Structure 1
């Protein structure tokens, strides 16, 4: 058995518009200048507290910003203008992996458990992921805790685990956990940032990802350098 872990925002789901709008609303509620779109997307993957610490500085009203973001996010999610569609090919890829019989599927995300539950409800993914690690279960990325706990829960070692994500935090987390980091080019961070953080390979579509994962699943176990 092999463990395939996915990030969510920027990897499975194109949630950039609602994230940027939620961050803007949180900052404006505090009379603060909202970060640019590029800067807003650069922190996707971190837990909310870590993200706002980066954006507002360690002396900013972190807890209050987090609360404001959560409140605005719930409201924005009800607006069709902020729909967060799956990236093309994501659904088919997950169904293919789930149906193989030799794969344990998991999630390692900076989202809350509530956010993940909404995702599972929305797409009918209950039963797809055997292991779910959220911002409430481990330290924020790039700490390897999410992956280490996922491997422990699945009973699968680092040589048989791959992390798929769109951010430098995903790649650094994977490297720290000793697993294969696969970066996707369609996410919220530049490919150069993923390569610099240690991406083992970069894929440009879900078709390419399936080819890469097929190769990973067929190879004998070996330690990732």
Structure 2
């Protein structure tokens, strides 16, 4: 009996559109801490990385550690407040539910590998009633985050599958590099934070502009055909 087919999904920029919320929260955190704001093009490049590390990458190299800690905490506070007051929402992209239902019907095992903390992941699953789709959940709270392969390796171990039966789907180069580091199929999507050129440059085996095309690509991969043509 073949190993299960495992589709691992990133969250921010892949399943949920959190672009405005993340940028607004980081920009506010920088302004609150006297840093004059933070441009979207800078923020988008670090989304997916564990937050403390991501903030450090946005700050000057010689910025004091206590200052970086303050920026990180201020971001968390801004994020929670802006999400709670409805200023910015983390809405599902159109096509997410149809894709997940299709994959579930086709006997895929589904999981999440995200840079969000576990409480952020649980909020998304609760808000959009997604618990019934995913059987394995992995965050940066319990070990190295992206692009370290840990989350993918743990997901494969938890579901008793193999790299040749696993696809990682994400919108950032960090997702692609994590997938390659784990030896699984790396599938990029262009509706999130990184461009098609950036995803291809990171080594994505396939890049998709629409959920319909992603579904077709996963169907082909799951049936064992068309991998070389991706």
* Category of TM-score, reference length = shorter chain: over 0.9
Structure 1 segment 142-181 matched on structure 2, within 5 A: 142-181=147-186
Residue 99 of structure 1 is matched in structure 2 by: 105
Structure 1 segment 1-225 matched on structure 2, within 5 A: 1-60=4-63, 61-100=67-106, 102-219=107-224
Q: In structure 2, how many angstroms separate the alpha carbons of the residues matched to 1:33 and 1:169? A: 27
Please report how far the alpha carbon of residue 179 of structure 1 lies from its aligned counterpart in structure 2 after TM superposition.
0.2
Q: In structure 2, how many angstroms separate the alpha carbons of the residues matched to 1:86 and 1:200? A: 25
Q: How many residues align?
A: 220
Secondary structure in structure 2 of the residue aligned to 1:195: helix
Conserved? CA contact 2:50–2:116, under 8 Å: yes
Q: In structure 2, how many angstroms separate the alpha carbons of the residues matched to 1:35 and 1:26? A: 9
TM normalised by structure 2 equals 0.91
Q: In structure 1, how many angstroms separate the alpha carbons of the residues matched to 2:156 and 2:62? A: 36
Conserved? CA contact 2:44–2:193, under 8 Å: yes
Conserved? CA contact 2:19–2:192, under 8 Å: no
Q: In structure 2, how many angstroms separate the alpha carbons of the residues matched to 1:189 and 1:117? A: 24
Please report how far the alpha carbon of residue 59 of structure 1 lies from its aligned counterpart in structure 2 after TM superposition.
4.0
Change (3 A) 1:149 1:59: farther
Secondary structure in structure 2 of the residue aligned to 1:70: helix
Question: What per-residue deviation string (whole Å, max 9, x for no partner) do you get for residues 190-221 of structure 1?
Answer: 1111111110001110000100010111117x
Please report how far the alpha carbon of residue 40 of structure 1 lies from its aligned counterpart in structure 2 after TM superposition.
1.0
Question: What per-residue deviation string (whole Å, max 9, x for no partner) do you get for residues 33-55 of structure 1?
Answer: 22211111111111101111110
Question: What per-residue deviation string (whole Å, max 9, x for no partner) do you get for residues 139-181 of structure 1?
Answer: 1211111111111111111111000001111101100000000
Segments of structure 1 that go 5 or more residues without pairing to the other structure are none
Farther-moved stretch of structure 1 (122-131 vs 76-85): 76-85
Secondary structure in structure 2 of the residue aligned to 1:105: strand
Conserved? CA contact 1:5–1:108, under 8 Å: yes
Conserved? CA contact 1:137–1:146, under 8 Å: no
Secondary structure in structure 2 of the residue aligned to 1:162: strand
Secondary structure in structure 1 of the residue aligned to 2:48: coil
Secondary structure in structure 2 of the residue aligned to 1:42: coil
Conserved? CA contact 2:110–2:133, under 8 Å: yes
